[in-house]
Amino acid sequence: MNNKEFVSALAARLGIAPKEAQKRIDGLVETLATQLEQGNEVAVSGFGTFEVKKRNERVIVNPASGKRMLVPPKLTVNFKESSSLKTRGRANTDND
């Protein structure tokens, strides 16, 4: 589901207007970003953890040119789901 549907679902759940819901989501994302920038992990129980991971620089080979290249280190946002979410999922899905 895309952003619009999510916002309307959230609005319905909280009993607020969709615009207000979007504002709240923006605030949430902003807070999350600030926390992550400071290097904190944000843990939401029953859902998962957002953390910042550093990926070290590494040597790759560009398949097109065959040249060896050095990819610089970078910081990425990583999400790790919690086990309760995993089990909840397994109960819901009906894969054969």
Partner 1 sequence: MPRITLRDFAEAMSSRTKLTKSASESTLRAVFELIGTHLYADNYVKIKGLGVFKLLTVRGRESVSVNTGERIEIASHSRISFTPDKALAERINKPFSSFQTVTIDDSSAVASDGLTPTETISEAASPENTPFSDGAVSLSQPSADQSAQPQTAPSVSVPPSSCLLQPAYDAIPVSTAYIGDDEAPETDSADVAQPHASAEEQTSPDTVAVTDQLSPEDASEQSALDSQEDTSEAVSESSDRDAGIQQDGSCEPNIPAPSETIDDTSDDGQEATLSATGRRGWLIVLCIVLAGVCGYLLGYYRVFVPQAASSSPSAQVQKPQATSSPQRPKTGNLSKDTVKRATHADSVRLRMAAAQADSVALEKRKAQLRQESRKYNQMPSATHLIAGTYKVHTMKSGESLIRLSKQIYGSKEMAKYVVFYNGLSNPDVVPVGTKVRFPLLVSKQ
Site for partner 1, rule CB under 8 A = 1-3, 5-6, 9-10, 13-14, 23-37, 39-48, 51-52, 57, 59, 62, 67-79, 81, 85-86, 88-90, 92-96
Q: Provide the pairing of β-strand 74-81 with 48-55.
A: antiparallel
Q: Which helix or strand (DSSP H or E) is residue 50 part of?
A: strand 48-55
What is the spatial distance between Cα 96 and Cα 85, in angstroms, rounded to a whole number?
20
CB of 90 to partner 1, least distance (A): 6
CB of 17 to partner 1, least distance (A): 13
CB of 67 to partner 1, least distance (A): 5
Q: Is residue 41 within 8 Å of residue 76, measured between CB atoms?
A: no
